[in-house]
Amino acid sequence: MATVKSKTVNPAMTESTVVLLRELVAHLRDNRTELREEWARRITEARLLTAMTKEEIFAEATSVYDNYVEALETGTFEALQAYARNLSERIIPRGVETDEVVGIVLLLRDVLARS
């Protein structure tokens, strides 16, 4: 079974895929500060999550980012799914719309793709 940083991942992954995944995780960890700041800035500029303060947006961006990287590193997505459910339960009652949530996910994809 292949591992990334001593954690079990999908056994069907090739060694080259495991190496690439390990490099991706290292890149995301090494550039954590800049990528989170860029993502939070883009969320604010796009006027998404307007029901939240800039500090709340940055805190949630940090938490989402860290959970995402952890899921990539471990190959387990249950914790990320649980976090996403918890986040939805907290922010939707505050007036955050579904299209805003989709928007922030797409912004994260763009920020990471450009890194």
Domain spans in the chain, listed from the N-terminal domain onward:
32-114
Residue found by looking up tokens 């450009």 in the block: 114
The pLDDT of residue 10 is 61
Q: How confident is the model at residue 1 (pLDDT cuts 50, 70, 90)?
A: very low
Q: Greater confidence, 86 or 33? A: 33
Q: Tell me which H or E stretch contains 55.
A: helix 54-74
Taking the C-alpha atoms of residue 63 and residue 3, their distance in angstroms, rounded to an integer, is 24
Whether this prediction's pTM lies above 0.85 is answered by no
Taking the C-alpha atoms of residue 98 and residue 28, their distance in angstroms, rounded to an integer, is 26
Whether pLDDT at 7 is above 70? no
Taking the C-alpha atoms of residue 73 and residue 24, their distance in angstroms, rounded to an integer, is 9
The two tokens of residue 41 are: 């800035």
